[in-house]
């Protein structure tokens, strides 16, 4: 009997359950899709990299738990709205003699029914979506799409069933607890609810609104000035100001909005605008806290999705700017070691019987540290923000140097001609000019660099930005000094670079990859205790693409969950408010208001209610993205993709809500 009642309830109330069912289905779909990543071809290729595999497993496990908590809270919240909406119906069951225990059993069967159907549909959609995710993964990692094949992940399916099974169990327990607290009189009078006005004084509401705008503007100015380079305390203060400003904005918005609208009598009394404005006022007034949270979640969503796709473009541009070398390695010098052979990478390679073939052009060179720091060198030109940037980008400490003979050996590998350097001249090789303006300013205004009280003339007008080894992703600063430099030099690294001959590229790549992997595993420590670190150009590319993939997956996963959660809460609030306002719509019909005007009023309410938190979130996002624009290569593709995802999901929930509210009002007639 209970099953029959539950099934009939779900069928009869399908329109009420549609948003709830849609949210469950999308949640399962996204959860399955991202947890099936490790089964995809491109990821399995990357899984040969132990660090990437372990990072992916840790990331997906931690994120899955976090996401399940968010979805669990959302589903309980959505279920609570549905229970409140059905108070009168449940009260009628009790009036007819049904006990609370039997009502709870009906709700348990309904939850099971909706849960099973949403799991089946969600996993089915997830299998389809995961194929698109597989193509995206292959694109991120620059894999050959010819290797693509249809993938089904049993592990992801079981994980989805277990996690959502636990969530549904919590919903059942919550329903039992909720029903046990309700009284019959409250259930039967559930639709008779009045809104409590938060701000009655017009002056206070206007003042609070102005204060909220002031907080937000001040927070925007602070973050645009410092970006993420601000000190931790200052950054936290800026964030708190933004959050508090957002809260005050929605707290005061409804009263402020009404005050402004009432000034324009023609607009206020046109058609049924007075009804629309009062409805919006009631909604915002009641739900200002949830609208604050939703606006902040949408801000995170836009930022995460934008950053995820923009990071892909940034990595693509970085990998396009390849270094001329195919492999590089360096030995970290042990200053306490007396035997010079232990600190010589060439001797190290001889000890482990590693030799270079004739088709592997190479050059050995030494890197030194000078008695000079970048802060001392540029002290007169560094701004406070640039001093912070130096710390943030690890650009502090002694300046590195190479002797001119070693530098010429390096550039000769690439086919460049040797550089002549006099005894009192110096070359600047650096990318610091991309981070701080102090270096270009110094080279523009100064002719010499003072090292240990001796002046060396700067030979080049602009810093050479070509690195001396494979070290992409890190900024560098080297001074090229004469071979007979007489100042203090501390040997830091002994290194080598290699360029393969094209026809032996694969063979050499495999050879050096094996060498560097063996070095990472400390295979030769018993032969020579020296620490040697190396990588090939392809290894660096794979690491960068692997890191990009992890961040993109995380950004998309969390971004999609946040936008679904935000849109679902907005939709459920609208549907719940529509049920509570049925008497008002009936009164409109009685006084002769047409269906066209009523439907227009519903559309305006839904549109404004959905746009309010989104509009403020977009402003937050524009400011936030501008503040960190220096970290990314801004491109319009990321903006278009982010906007498209937002419009499809958020717009889909808006339309479903509009149709749902319209059907509720129409059904009441």
Over the stretch 154-203, which tens digit does the pLDDT of each residue have? Answer: 888 888 888 888 888 887 787 777 666 666 555 555 555 544 445 456 67
Q: Which secondary-structure segment (H or E) carries 204?
A: helix 202-226
Could you tell me the pLDDT band of residue 650, with boundaries at 50, 70 and 90?
confident
Mean pLDDT, residues 259-281 taken together? 71
First to last CA, the chain: 31
Cα-based torsion angle of the residue sequence 416, 418, 422, 427 in order, rounded to the nearest 10 degrees: 30
Could you tell me the pLDDT band of residue 405, with boundaries at 50, 70 and 90?
very high
**Who wins on pLDDT, 107 or 485?**
485
Q: What is the pLDDT of residues 193-249, one digit of tens each?
A: 544 445 456 677 778 888 989 999 998 888 887 776 667 788 788 888 999 999 888
The pLDDT assigned to 354 comes to 92
3-state DSSP of 363-379: EEEEEEEEEEEHHHHHC
Q: What is the pLDDT of residues 490-503, one digit of tens each?
A: 999 999 999 999 89
Q: What pTM was computed for the model?
A: 0.69
The pLDDT assigned to 195 comes to 46
Q: What is the pLDDT of residues 426-442, one digit of tens each?
A: 998 887 655 567 778 88
Q: What is the pLDDT of residues 556-593, one digit of tens each?
A: 778 888 888 888 888 887 887 777 777 787 887 788 77
Q: Is the pLDDT of residue 398 over 50?
A: yes
DSSP code of residue 249 = H
**Who wins on pLDDT, 541 or 516?**
516
The pLDDT assigned to 197 comes to 46
Where on the phi/psi map is residue 97: left (φ > 0), alpha (ψ -120 to 50), or beta? left
* 281 closest CA partner among 254, 303, 311: 254
What value does the mean pLDDT of the chain take? Answer: 78
Q: Is the pLDDT of residue 663 over 60?
A: yes
Mean pLDDT, residues 628-657 taken together? 75
The pLDDT assigned to 580 comes to 74
Residues of the chain with pLDDT > 90: what percent? 14
The pLDDT assigned to 403 comes to 94
The pLDDT assigned to 194 comes to 46
Q: Which secondary-structure segment (H or E) carries 399?
A: strand 398-403
């Amino acid at each position: 009997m209970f099953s029959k009642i539950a099934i009939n309830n779900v069928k009869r109330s399908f329109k009420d359950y549609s948003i709830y069912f849609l949210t469950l289905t999308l949640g399962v779909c996204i959860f399955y899709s991202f947890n099936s990543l490790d089964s995809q071809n491109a990821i399995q290729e990357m899984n040969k990299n132990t660090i990437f595999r372990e990072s992916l497993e840790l990331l997906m496990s931690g994120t899955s738990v976090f996401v399940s908590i968010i979805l669990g809270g959302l589903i309980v919240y959505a279920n609570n709205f549905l229970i409140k909406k059905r108070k009168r119906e449940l009260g009628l069951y009790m009036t007819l003699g049904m006990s609370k225990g039997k009502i709870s059993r009906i709700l348990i069967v309904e939850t099971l029914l909706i849960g099973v159907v949403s799991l089946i549909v969600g996993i089915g959609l997830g299998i389809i979506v995961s194929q698109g995710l597989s193509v995206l993964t292959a694109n991120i990692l620059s894999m050959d799409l010819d290797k693509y094949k249809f993938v089904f992940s049993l592990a992801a399916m079981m994980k989805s069933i277990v996690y959502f099974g636990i969530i549904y169990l919590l919903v059942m327990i919550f329903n039992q607890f909720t029903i046990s607290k309700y009284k019959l009189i409250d259930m039967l009078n559930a639709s008779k609810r009045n809104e409590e006005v938060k701000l009655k004084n017009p002056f206070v509401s206007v003042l609070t609104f102005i204060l909220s705008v002031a907080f937000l503007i001040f927070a925007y100015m602070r973050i645009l000035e410092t970006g993420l380079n601000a000190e931790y305390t200052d950054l936290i203060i800026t964030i708190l100001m933004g959050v508090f400003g957002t809260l005050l904005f929605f707290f005061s918005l409804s009263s402020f909005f009404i005050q402004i609208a009432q000034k324009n009598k023609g607009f206020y009394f046109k058609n049924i605008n007075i009804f629309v404005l009062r409805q919006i006022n009631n909604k915002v007034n009641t739900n200002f806290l949830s609208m604050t949270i939703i606006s902040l979640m949408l801000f995170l969503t836009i930022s995460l999705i934008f950053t995820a796709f923009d990071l892909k473009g940034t990595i693509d541009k970085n990998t396009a700017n390849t270094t001329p070398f195919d492999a590089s390695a360096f030995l970290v010098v042990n200053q306490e070691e007396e035997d010079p052979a232990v600190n010589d990478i060439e001797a190290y390679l001889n000890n482990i019987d590693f030799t270079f073939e004739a088709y592997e052009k190479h050059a050995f060179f030494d890197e030194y540290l000078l008695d000079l720091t970048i802060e001392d060198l540029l002290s007169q030109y560094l701004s406070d923000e640039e001093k912070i940037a130096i710390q943030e980008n690890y650009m502090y400490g002694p300046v590195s140097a190479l002797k001119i003979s070693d530098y010429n050996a390096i550039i000769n590998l690439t086919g460049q001609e040797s550089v002549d350097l006099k005894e009192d001249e110096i070359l600047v090789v650096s990318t610091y000019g991309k981070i701080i303006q102090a270096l270009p300013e110094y080279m523009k205004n100064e002719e010499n660099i003072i090292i240990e009280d001796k002046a060396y003339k700067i030979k080049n007008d602009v810093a050479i930005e070509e690195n001396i080894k494979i070290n992409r992703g890190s900024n560098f600063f080297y001074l090229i000094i004469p071979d007979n430099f007489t100042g203090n030099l501390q040997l830091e690294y002994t290194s080598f670079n290699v360029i393969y001959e094209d026809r032996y590229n694969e063979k050499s790549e495999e050879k050096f990859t094996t060498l560097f992997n063996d070095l990472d595993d400390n295979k030769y420590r018993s032969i020579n205790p020296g620490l040697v670190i190396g990588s090939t150009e392809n290894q660096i590319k794979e690491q960068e693409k692997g890191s990009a993939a992890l961040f993109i997956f995380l950004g998309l996963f969390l971004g999609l969950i946040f936008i679904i959660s935000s849109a679902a809460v907005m939709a459920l609030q609208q549907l719940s408010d529509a049920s509570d306002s049925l008497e008002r719509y009936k009164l409109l019909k009685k006084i002769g208001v047409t269906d066209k005007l009523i439907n227009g009023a519903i559309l305006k309410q839904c549109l404004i209610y959905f746009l309010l938190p989104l509009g403020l979130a977009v402003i937050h996002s524009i400011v936030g993205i501008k503040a960190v624009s220096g970290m990314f290569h801004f491109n319009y593709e990321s903006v278009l993709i982010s906007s498209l995802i937002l419009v499809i999901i958020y717009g889909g929930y808006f339309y479903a809500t509009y149709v749902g509210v319209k059907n509720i009002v129409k059904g009441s007639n």
